[in-house]
Structure 1
Amino acid sequence: MLQFINPLLQKALQSISPCQLCNAEQQQIHSVCADCWQQLPWLKSTVQRQEMDIQSACHYDYPIDRIIQKFKYEQQLHFQQILAGAFMQLRLPKVQAIVPMPISNQRLAERGYNQSLVLGKILAKQLDLPIWQPITRLQQHSQKGLTRLERIENIQQQFQINTTSKLRYRRVLILDDVVTTGSSIFALKQKLEQLGCQKVYAACIASAAI
């Protein structure tokens, strides 16, 4: 089970630890030095996908693309602080709960964790908000060879409402790591609206060009 590092211990470790990117300077901001932090491919703006406005902290370029890949596929969990820190650079809307992008049980078994949930927990603690997970995701199949409409339909069928709880939130924030077409966020948004959500916002660490 992943645990949050005590903030005081984390600060003490940062004062003696090297930057996680250049390994030369001391950590100053979210586990990296000030220069490396400033050189990230910042966007800090809104991108539009599937007629949705999605806040994006960075462009999906070097080195944030490699950081996300290592965190997501290579179990390099020490990058969670810099990635969560990127989310915190956004002007996030006032919401009642955070909804991390769900992954299938197959993906969960492969990786050992849901990367969006790990980051969502850090952000939720900072914002004093609950994590809400009323939607599950079925096995994710390859999209290769499908038309645009087939891709959208395929993704929409992956998301299932799984909650029997009467707990509902009207204003929620979807968190995802990388957004390309936005199809997954749009499909998740539709399911959340079925549960009575009136305002569904979305934010990502990085957005890729389409």
Structure 2
Amino acid sequence: MLQLINQILHKGVQSISPCLLCGIDRQQQHSLCNDCWEHLPWYQQSIERHEHHILCAHHYDFPIDRIIQTYKYEQQLQYQNLLAHSLLNLRLPKVQAIVPMPISTERLKDRGYNQMLVIAKIMARELQIPVWQPVIRAAQHSQKGLSRIERLENIENQFQIITTEKRKYKKVLMIDDVVTTGSSIHAMNQALTDLGCQQIYNACIAMAE
């Protein structure tokens, strides 16, 4: 009941709030006015990295690049709804759970939140499915100077399955913010496969060339 009241209040505030980008027209459910929403650098296609297909909402261009940076590093959480709806705007498959890309304890302490977990919770409410976090991430080290194989091995060693996790899902959606080489997504897919997932779909807010 409390959650429903909060949703009603949130929609009421949105109905009188200005667009987060232009600050002129009234914002819609995604926190932008319709004109700003339509003029985002949409991509809405699938790319392939390490033999994994990844649905990408946007090109990593202005203003999405700046929005992701400020949301991720400057605690500008007002953009969470915009970024979540960018992913919800994709043709997402029906899945049993959403898996946000984990971050290390060190980065969690530094930022104060896992940016993709915040987005995953919004998506989970909309899609009426649970958020699943069966994998933790160890310290994230620099990849500079490593070969392609060394980079993959370095990242794969960062992801650790939570052995006490009792929930099991066979069909999941893994989400991340920006995809470049796709090494982190590859490592997460491997960990989820080891957990028994049979169908793993991947989606990112933006793809960087």
Pairwise TM-score range, normalised by the shorter structure:
over 0.9
Q: Which residue of 2 aligns with 1:153?
A: 153
Paired residue secondary structure (1:16): coil
SS at match of 2:44: strand
Against the structure 1 CA distance between its residues 56 and 135, is the aligned structure 2 distance closer, same or farther, given a 3 Å change threshold?
A: same
Q: Scaled by the length of structure 2, what TM-score is found?
A: 0.95
- Write the letter of the residue equivalent to 2:172: V
Structure 2 CA distance for aligned equivalents of residues 111 and 5 of structure 1: 29
**Runs of at least 4 residues off by over 6 Å:** none
Contact 2:11 2:29 in 1 (8 A): no
- TM-score, with length taken from structure 1: 0.95
Q: Give the aligned partner of residue 24 of structure 2.
A: 24
Partner of 1:42: 42
The answer to whether the 8 Å contact 1:99/1:175 transfers is yes
Larger deviation: 162-171 or 70-79?
162-171
1:137 and 2:137 correspond = yes
Shift of 1:165: 3.0
1:171–1:200 CA contact under 8 A, matched in 2: yes
* Structure 1 partner of 2:56: 56
More divergent stretch after superposition (162-171 vs 176-185): 162-171
Gaps of 5+ in 1: none
Whole-Å separation in 1 of the counterparts to 2:40 and 2:207: 13
Instruction: Give the direction of change, closer, same or farther, for the CA distance of 1:4–1:58 in structure 2 (3 Å limit).
Output: farther
Cα displacement string for residues 93-144 of structure 1 (whole angstroms, at most 9, x for unaligned residues): 1111111000000010010000010000000111111111111000001111
Give the count of matched residue pairs: 207
Contact 1:29 1:37 survives alignment (8 Å)? no
The amino acid across from 2:76 in the alignment is: Q
Which residue does 2:66 correspond to in 1?
66
Structure 2 gap segments, 5+ residues each:
none
Please report how far the alpha carbon of residue 15 of structure 1 lies from its aligned counterpart in structure 2 after TM superposition: 2.1
Q: Which structure 2 residues correspond to residues 100-139 of structure 1 after superposition, within 5 A? A: 100-139=100-139
